[in-house]
Structure 1
Amino acid sequence: MKTAVVLFTRDLRVRDNPALAAACANADQVVPLFVLDPALGKLSANRVRFLHQALADLRSTLRDKGGDLVIRMGDPVAETIELARSVNAEGIGMAADVSLYARKREKRLTEEAERHRMALKLFPGLTIVDPGTLRPGGGGNGYKVFSPYHRTWRAAKWRDEVATPRKITMPHGVAVGRLPALPEGESPDAAEGGETEARRQLATWLRHIGPYPDLHDDMAADGTSRLSPYLRFGCLSPLELANAAIKHEAEEYVRQLCWRDFYYQVALAMPQLSTEPIRPSGDTSWRDDKSALEHWQDGLTGVPIVDAGMRQLRAEGWMHNRARLITAAFLTKHLGVDWRHGVDWFFRWLLDGDVPNNSGNWQWVAGTGNDTRPYRKFNPIRQAQRFDPEGVYVRRYVPELKGVEGGAVHQPWRLPDEVKRGLDYPGPLESHRDEAVWLRP
């Protein structure tokens, strides 16, 4: 093949990128392309900023290898076909994806490529095991329970990591286009996007991965990798990360990566994951309580561990995994508010927000998804006492409570009246003060 176009989507890296590696191995000339779709305007300000940082970093890396990143704006199918025709490309490569939008894009691109007598090839790379590969013994579209999926996933033969192209040769005269100005994000402490930063954080993480089984739920220790935004945009290969974790004998961390793959195969079977319950019988009547929802969004519920998580979300565009569980359970199981409001709010702020994991996990917590115990409740106070016993995490994000010592910070309503009067912090939501389970000492 003389010329191939590689359409980058959510694989913004050069290392272990099967689509890019195949194009460089089989074509004399390769044109890397990213299309800024106007639909991306619906992304959160945080993710748009992260995306643009990742694109700038990708362009720099491709230029170091003799290539460049072509930037176009508009409909990704039309722009890809137009560029491919202008360079007389014989083939187009891109990473396969599972979201409803991505699958519609792939279908349209396949049809247009065939119409113009070009070959479109889809490649793995967004997950460790392709979402449609593993099937339960009894048939069906995919696994609905994690444990049997994990056993099959762990026993499966994974693909080999592909080599990083040493050189990229582009056709002469291709107008590469300009990167858009870096937009403002909403979270002041959000992580920086790009493969370079991802690899820096990966190297740091692997030096500290040993205590992960003991620390990943310790909210004060902040002992998680914080690599999820880089996985979401493909700045880091999930396969490379899993292989590295195995070399460090961090099986518990590999299990967490399996959860990510699990929800991708769920999303493949159920593309309406963000709006329709997996288990309809669990989609009960939800309370229409705008005030409660807004207090939850603002981190002003009066329950410190919940408010700390919600404020971390706004400040960093990220939230500790245990805090995600606590805050989601509080909204759905304690306040009785529809899980879809939570999905939308997290999508607005999270750098790592994607359909499979954000929506899948919300449904798990709400009791409408893949949880085998859909009616479980999480007591936020007991969770706080277990995973933030000295209140370090709470005081980190709720400055009004910095003067409260130790674990007393988790139940400020039980402090002496003279102490409570000195705190600029709300009591528990009026609509929820009858929730004796967690207000009780």
Structure 2
Amino acid sequence: MKPFRQIALLTAGMLLLSAAGCGKKEDSQMQDSSSQSTWSMADPSLNLPTLNLGHTTEDMIRRAVVNPGNTARLADAMKRAQAGEKITIGTIGGSITQGTAASTTDERYANRALQWWAKAFPKAQLDFVNAGIGATDSYIGVHRVDADLLSKKPDVVIVEFSVNDTDAALNLQTYDSLVRKILQAENHPAVILLFTTQEDGTSLQDTHMQIGSAYNLPMISYKNAVLPEIEAGKFTWKDISPDNIHPNSVGHGIIGELLWSYFNSVYAKLDQIDTSDLTFTATPVTKDLYAKGQLLDSKTLTPKTMQGFEQAEVSNQFPNDWTTKEGGELTFEVTGSNIGVLYYKTVDGKSGQYCVYVDDRLIQVLDGDFTGGWGNYAQAQQVYTSDTPSTHTVTIKQLEGTDLTQFTVLGLLVS
């Protein structure tokens, strides 16, 4: 598979900103695509966990399993759970993973997944980490996954970013590095890719499938399950979502049933799955530019200079920030190949525009104003990219001639 090339800083874009003023045993080798096969549901006569919400049909479930993938790591986790060991189930994604629009915590798809493990392995010691944060994509995700998820050493991870990812070229690379980070964790977690969708079918599923196919990962598509049913008049989008994106409890229940069915298909043939080799050595699909991605905030990064800003905790999701209400300037010195700014967009009509300079070159004007929007959220903007790491000076200061002075820098995304 040919890797996409990362787009470097655009000279034209900088000029515009300046002008603006600112069966048989499976092979357990993780990347072996030859083990991709036709998927079949577990024998219903077996005594397996059932969710019984009544939201899915066999056709929906079969369509949803884009690739059953290599199940060695998942089977290994199940065998350890069966033996009563401690198992941690993890999820990472955006607001859907966070559970927006689900009526209760237990009705979120992430919790539905956990419930299968509790039902299947009552003697196991189960831990759970939900690293879903609304309005975040895999670009932010690859920089926060170590702290928010991998530090908890999950044994099974469900990754959901197909709605929040919108830039196919950039997100192919960030998603690749994110998935690889998880697969390369020392405790060999199983990875399941979950694809969601907007009402009109907008989703980066096809882009994410390139990564899943290259590494032969299990891929489950909510999009494939529900959209043909809606087109056939079986139910409407409003039956499963209160808006154009977020599943309600019924939608989350559909995802839950898809996951339970997939888990059961692995559990049913657990004794036949070879778990002796859980290594992952596949060549990256892309250049793996974000392999060393990290989020640097006020706890881990000291500004070179700081005028008007102060350390604060404005955002619950990204609390260690720098904020100003009266304007000011921040300067950082960081080393990396890729640099981004994570900042806060607010609906209060007080957040203004701030310029970002890299090595004294105006790169981007960030607008913190989201007046009339659905709520405050963290926005990321990549401001520098290169194939080789080096040290750079990043300056963030108010755009001249603007009246709105409030602004919050949540952190720098450096890889």
| TM-score normalised by length of structure 2 | 0.26
With a CA cutoff of 8 Å and minimum separation of 6, indicate the structure with the bigger relative contact order: 2
- Quick check: which has more Rg, 1 or 2? 1
TM-score (norm 1): 0.25
Which structure dedicates a bigger proportion of its chain to helix?
1
